[in-house]
């Protein structure tokens, strides 16, 4: 007999700020939650102190199981949510596949990517990596304007779960929703994932815009043209244009570009204030996905023959080939065009 959909067990692979935030959210809603932390010492510390440090100090409920054993984390689970960084997704998925296949069970868990990024080199979306590495599992993606600090504070937000199998997305919709976390279903994983990836790149530009004190007009112009770039790339790869006007497109873009709750915004802001990228990332203490995404997106745009001028200037600035002020002037100096 199928278990109550509201009480299905959830395993979260990744004990960073977003993984632990999701654990808090779903545990609070009555779901059995296990969090996998690949570092044994880190798992022991979290289990002992029951305290997450980022995005801010917050208590981890006693019901949340924390383990450094991947086999333990994946045992008897219905749903596996990947909340790792994008460049470690393949390794974690490969290790997970070995555990899942070794179990010999025909009832394999559904896999959900809560990671926003593209794999460097292949430019694959995270759900594509999961589908390629872990056979025989349903795959979906979760994305939206979900700043971890606000979710932890109990502030309301919405998100989107997307799968090419819309019936799966509809099923996950009820499993992942919580009282102040409203989840919508979509059949456009391409749009959902690319929106979540490119907005991090635009957020770096938005942070630089504010760091240079360029004003509201400039930032509004930047976000609008940034959304146009996101849409141009996503539609070229098969996304629905309307997805980019939704939660995982415009919604996530505006949230991530709004201020310092976003790590990517902080990268751009501090770059504009003259701080070195290496020092910014060291002080963040966690991955700013817009940094590797800028490189991956520009590689992808070149392969497709698309112009993404904002992404290109962000990449140039991150590589030290330009300055934030120089990048803004380069964008303003481009040939005039129709909107």
Residues classed as catalytic? 199
Residue 155: both structure tokens together: 């502030």
CA distance 20 to 18: 5
Helix axes 216-236, 309-318, angle to 10 degrees: 110
User: How many C-beta atoms surround the C-beta of residue 196 within 10 A?
Assistant: 33
Residue 114: both structure tokens together: 């809560």
Cis peptide before 51 (omega within 30 of 0): no
CA distance 135 to 49: 37
Strand extents, DSSP E, the chain: 10-13, 33-36, 51-52, 58-59, 65-67, 79-82, 110-113, 139-143, 157-162, 181-186
- Side-chain half-sphere of 68: how many Cα atoms within 13 Å? 10
Q: How far apart are the first and last CA of the chain?
A: 56
């Amino acid at each position: 007999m199928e278990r109550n959909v509201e009480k299905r067990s959830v395993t979260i692979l990744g004990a960073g700020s977003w993984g632990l935030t999701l654990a808090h959210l779903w545990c609070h809603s009555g779901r059995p939650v296990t969090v996998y932390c690949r570092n044994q010492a880190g798992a022991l510390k979290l289990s002992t102190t029951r305290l997450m440090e980022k995005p801010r100090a917050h208590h981890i409920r006693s019901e949340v199981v924390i383990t450094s054993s991947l086999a333990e984390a994946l045992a008897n689970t219905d749903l596996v949510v990947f909340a790792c960084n994008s460049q470690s997704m393949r390794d974690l998925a490969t290790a997970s596949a070995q555990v899942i296949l070794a179990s010999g069970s025909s009832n394999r868990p559904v896999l959900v990517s809560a990671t926003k990024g593209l794999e460097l080199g292949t430019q694959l979306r995270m759900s594509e990596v999961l589908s390629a590495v872990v056979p025989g599992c349903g795959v979906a993606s979760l994305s939206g304007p979900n700043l971890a600090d606000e979710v932890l504070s109990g502030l309301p937000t919405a998100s989107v779960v997307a799968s090419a199998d819309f019936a799966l997305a509809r099923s996950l919709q009820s499993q992942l929703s919580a009282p102040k976390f409203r989840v919508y279903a979509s059949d456009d994983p391409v749009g959902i994932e690319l929106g979540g990836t490119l907005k991090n790149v635009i957020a770096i530009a938005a942070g630089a815009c504010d760091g240079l004190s360029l004003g509201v007009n400039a930032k509004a112009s930047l976000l609008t043209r940034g959304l146009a770039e996101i849409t141009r790339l996503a539609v070229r790869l098969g996304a629905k244009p309307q997805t980019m006007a939704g939660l995982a497109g415009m919604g996530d873009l505006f949230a991530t570009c709004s201020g310092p709750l976003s790590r990517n915004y902080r990268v751009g802001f501090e770059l504009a204030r003259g701080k070195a990228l290496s020092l910014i990332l060291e002080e963040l203490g966690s991955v700013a996905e817009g940094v590797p995404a800028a490189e991956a997106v520009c590689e992808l745009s070149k392969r497709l023959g698309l112009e993404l001028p904002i992404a290109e200037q962000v990449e140039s600035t991150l590589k030290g080939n330009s300055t934030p002020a120089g990048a803004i002037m380069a964008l303003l100096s481009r040939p005039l065009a129709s909107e």
